[in-house]
A and B are shown apart, each in its own frame.
Chain A
Amino acid sequence: MHAPHSQYAIEARNIVKRFDGEAAVDGIDLTIRKGSIFGILGPNGAGKTTTLRMLLGIIDPDEGERFLLGSPEPISMAHQVGYLPEERGLYQSMKAFDAIAFMGALRGLPLAEGRKRGRAMMEDHGLGDAADKQIRQLSKGMAQTVQLLGTLVHDPDLIILDEPFSGLDALNQGKLERLIRAQADKGVTIIFSTHVIAHAERLCEEIAIIADGKISFKGKVSTARDRLRPQVHLETRNLDGPWRTAIPAECKPLGHNWHFTLPESGVEPLLHALVEGGAGIESLSIERPGLHDAFVQIAGDAAARKMEADAGNNNGDETA
């Protein structure tokens, strides 16, 4: 039995979705705390959108159960939820501020209030002049912003954004990041899917990595990174000496440069061995691995390459 005031915005237990017998989502467990920014990472076709659609109640899982804001009937919580789907869509003949009001009205906001807020939000986002224009008269980026504002107009407690950065230029991606942070500062839970690791790395407190319909990792970004040992970049004057025992045997120099994974013993023993052993340190840096490296380690090299290709295609779309 779930209390309506659950501490979790989302709870999913072993949800499965099959299309034509093929599992698009294969037994996902997910809990997302209220008030957090949560990223769902994975290449196209990994099952991100299907998972979000099940969580929202657009489609039902074939197996398992899910709770949205504590309710097993997600549609009953729709007034508290904002959703930006991956495939954007608006009524082309509607005026921009009316489109925002309509999206609010769908989720229980009175139309008059929605119109007032719609105009104000457009002013705030520098689109005041476009408020009375029909959607078909707006640029793709402007229409996308209008849809995003429509997602927020009713002040939801939970915002779910499916690939929100897709199709946006760098400037608008920055604006969207700031908007997400501003909503999070108000205590709103934000869940977004992406195949661009950098966005998740900058914004999220927690992430889930999905590949082939399964969750490969779920937890804090720092935990994902901690799965990899830090990388050491060392430049020495000498190429041999007693200090070599401190470096992994398989590590070969590139000139006088050495790149290797920090040994389990840690930084201090390494430094001691290098100094005492007479390596002649010219430079030394120890880098914490990025989320991308963690993703490669968790989801596999193939998934990482696919995600990079998706991101490349997406950028191609933006400039087309």
Chain B
Amino acid sequence: MIETIRAAFVIARRDFAAIIFSKSFFFFLLGPLFPLGIGIAAGGLGSQVSRDIDNPVIGIALSPAETEMLLAARTRLSGSLGSQSLPDMVVLEDFSGEEADILAKLDSEKSLNAILSGSLAKPVLTGSKRDVDKWRGKITLLVETASSQLAEVEIETRLVGQTGSSSERGQLLTAQAGQAILILLTMILAGMVLSNLVEEKTNKIIEILAAAIPMDAIFLGKLFAMLGMALVGIAVWSTVGFSIALLVGGNWAALPSPAVGWPLFGLLMILYFSMAYLLLGSLFLGIGAMATTVREVQTLSMPVTMGQLLVFFLAYSSITKLGDPAEWLAVLFPFSSPFAMIARAAQMDNIWQHGLALVWQGIFTMIIIRFSVMLFRRNVMKSGQAARKKSLLARVTGK
């Protein structure tokens, strides 16, 4: 065992140094900036388009006095509801309000979505069915506010730290956020392990390694080197992310606190990411080890990604069902366990379960590595005919 760990360290150190000191690692670090940039740009454009579509312009064809009252009502409601939630209004001057004129106006003025005519007592909203259905409620509110002439009510507010409901909602949000980050990072990073043994096989180095150290050490070393690289990447991205958040004045106090507290939650995020990475990574390493060329690895990527999505879906779907059979399934199924457990850490304050979960996930990682090694020795190194006669337990334990 000690020799396996020593040998794994030799492999991990070589791989880690080869990755970290390569030029491509710089581009790897820049990687998340591209989807982030695209996301921000697409989000900005999307919201602009959405605003343009959803904020219609309503033409007002009321008497001057009623028009004045309606505009005043809009100003008052904007204060409490927000200007974006109310339609823009354009006063149509020198306009008869006859039905024919309204139809002609709507036909000629492309910027107008609907026209409000008649009077506040008997308003008429003319427009397409979609616009009328969508804005009838808000227009009614505006007309009622304008008609009532009531003074604006000032509500006195009393703030408490947390209510049971807000705490639960907040923790659920933290659970979702934590799980989403974990899933995203695992998805981005674990797939890279697929191609990890291709270099050794194409360069024939695998023969030297296999003659010198236990095969388990090769797999373990490679896995830990990739995990190290992933953690370096995460550290860099987190540092950059927090720095930007500090610069733009992020409100940390507004983040809902997880049930186990922030320090332990942070630690568990790292531990569960590591376990998720090792679990999926060991599987991917085993699958990738069967491939002989980069093309084969690329072909394998698609089903592997689909498999990842299924696992993530299982964990995500159980996030609001703590204690349900579905959630227990997500907790116990090794590949979804880290994601389900981070959701638990956000919502449940008992700590012992995390120790058990980590041990459970660690055992499965070792089993998968053993199984991958067995497949690799048999199918790639063309060994293990004799091993086939051994019991599954002996193969798994290596005895």
A47 contacts chain B at the CB level, 8 A cutoff: no
Task: Say which residue of A17, A59, A75, A83 sits within 8 Å of B208 (CB atoms).
Answer: A83
Measured CB to CB, the nearest residue on chain A to B203 is A89
Cβ–Cβ < 8 Å partners of A85 in chain B = 204, 207-208, 211
Measured CB to CB, the nearest residue on chain B to A52 is B211
Chain B 319-337 interface mask (CB, 8 Å, partner A; 1/0): 0000000000000000000
A-B contact count (CB 8 A): 75
Contact A90 B205 (CB under 8 A): yes
Cβ–Cβ < 8 Å partners of A89 in chain B = 200, 203-208
B7 contacts chain A at the CB level, 8 A cutoff: yes
Measured CB to CB, the nearest residue on chain A to B386 is A60
Chain A 87-119 interface mask (CB, 8 Å, partner B; 1/0): 111111110000000110111100100000000
Chain A 33-77 interface mask (CB, 8 Å, partner B; 1/0): 000000000000000000001001111111100000000000110
A178 contacts chain B at the CB level, 8 A cutoff: no
Contact B18 A62 (CB under 8 A): no
Known: A87-B207, A91-B205. A106 touches B212 (CB 8 A): yes
Task: Say which residue of B208, B377, B386 sits within 8 Å of A103 (CB atoms).
Answer: B208
B387 contacts chain A at the CB level, 8 A cutoff: yes
Contact A93 B212 (CB under 8 A): no
**How far, in angstroms, from A19 to B18 measured CA to CA in the complex?**
35
A102-154 residues with Cβ-Cβ distance < 8 A to B are: 102-103, 105-108, 111
Measured CB to CB, the nearest residue on chain B to A105 is B10
Measured CB to CB, the nearest residue on chain A to B15 is A91
Cβ–Cβ < 8 Å partners of B18 in chain A = 91, 93-94
Contact B208 A106 (CB under 8 A): yes
A227 contacts chain B at the CB level, 8 A cutoff: no
Give B208 Cβ to nearest chain A Cβ, in Å. Answer: 6
**How far, in angstroms, from A88 to B204 measured CA to CA in the complex?**
6
Most buried by A among B199, B386, B387: B386
Give A192 Cβ to nearest chain B Cβ, in Å. Answer: 15
Cβ–Cβ < 8 Å partners of A93 in chain B = 18, 22
A271 contacts chain B at the CB level, 8 A cutoff: no
**How far, in angstroms, from A57 to B207 measured CA to CA in the complex?**
11
Contact B10 A62 (CB under 8 A): no
Give A271 Cβ to nearest chain B Cβ, in Å. Answer: 55
Task: Say which residue of A19, A57, A78 sits within 8 Å of B382 (CB atoms).
Answer: A19
Task: Say which residue of B22, B209, B381, B385 sits within 8 Å of A106 (CB atoms).
Answer: B209
Known: A83-B208, A102-B14. A58 touches B213 (CB 8 A): no
**How far, in angstroms, from A135 to B213 measured CA to CA in the complex?**
22
Known: A18-B385, A62-B386, A91-B18. A57 touches B211 (CB 8 A): yes
A1-29 residues with Cβ-Cβ distance < 8 A to B are: 17-19
Contact B212 A59 (CB under 8 A): no
Most buried by A among B7, B200, B211, B213: B211
Cβ–Cβ < 8 Å partners of A17 in chain B = 385
Give B7 Cβ to nearest chain A Cβ, in Å. Answer: 7
